[in-house]
Amino acid sequence: MSQDNKPSNLSIWTQVEKTDPAALSPMFTADGTNLTAINHNYQIKRATELFGPCGFGWGYDVINASIIDGAMVSNTQTKVSSVQIEFWYKHQGEVCKFSHFGQTPFVSIGKDEKVNTDDDAHKKSLTDAIGKSLSMLGFSADIYGQGSGDNVGKEPIADDSITTKIKACKDVAALSVLWKTLTKEQMVQYAKVKDDHKVKLGVA
């Protein structure tokens, strides 16, 4: 095969790096950090469109699922669900494989200092592992790339109006209310602003 006809190493990446704003929703981490969550079924559908049905064109095998100790908080042993999978997909007639992890709090301490136990922790960790595996192929790189850390030392960029409102939210309830008030046009504009920011930061 000539150099001109050689398949691009980014052939998958460039097809799946952009995310439909309708698939995004707000999410808060345990420490209160507000992030952007990507609808899991949206990611599964995109993988199916590109590779074929799950179990035929792509899939995963659970290598290990365990509960590991986290930090001791107020005499309570927090615990984390950890799931390791081997992710595989078919590309140019070959079956490609790699492994990744997903983690979710199992026993945690809430802001109200109450102990919380998540019965769906392993399922959420599996979802996390699948999403992280897809991100390795470029799925929703426009979202995952926002926190790359490559902007260290570069001039900060002023927040747009929507980002300013998001940062003003104190909890997930307030963030959810804000999210529901945004029109599809505003969501598209918000995604475009984030893309423009990454170009200016040199991480696009």
Q: Could you tell me if 29 and 70 lie in one domain? A: yes
Answer yes or no: do 159 and 115 share one domain.
Answer: no
Q: For the chain, 204 residues long, give each residue's pLDDT as a single digit of tens.
A: 445 556 689 999 999 999 888 888 876 655 555 667 889 999 999 999 999 999 999 999 999 999 999 888 888 999 999 999 999 999 999 999 999 999 999 998 877 788 999 999 999 999 999 999 999 999 999 887 643 333 333 333 445 677 677 666 665 566 667 767 777 677 667 666 655 544 443 434
Out of 117, 139, 161, a domain closes at 139
So what's the pLDDT on residue 203?
Answer: 36
Domain membership flag for residue 8: no
Question: What pLDDT sits at residue 28?
Answer: 60
Q: Total domain count for the chain?
A: 2
Structure tokens at 192: 């475009």
Same domain, 101 and 118: yes
| Six-digit token string for 195 | 């893309």
| Domain coverage including residue 154 | 148-204
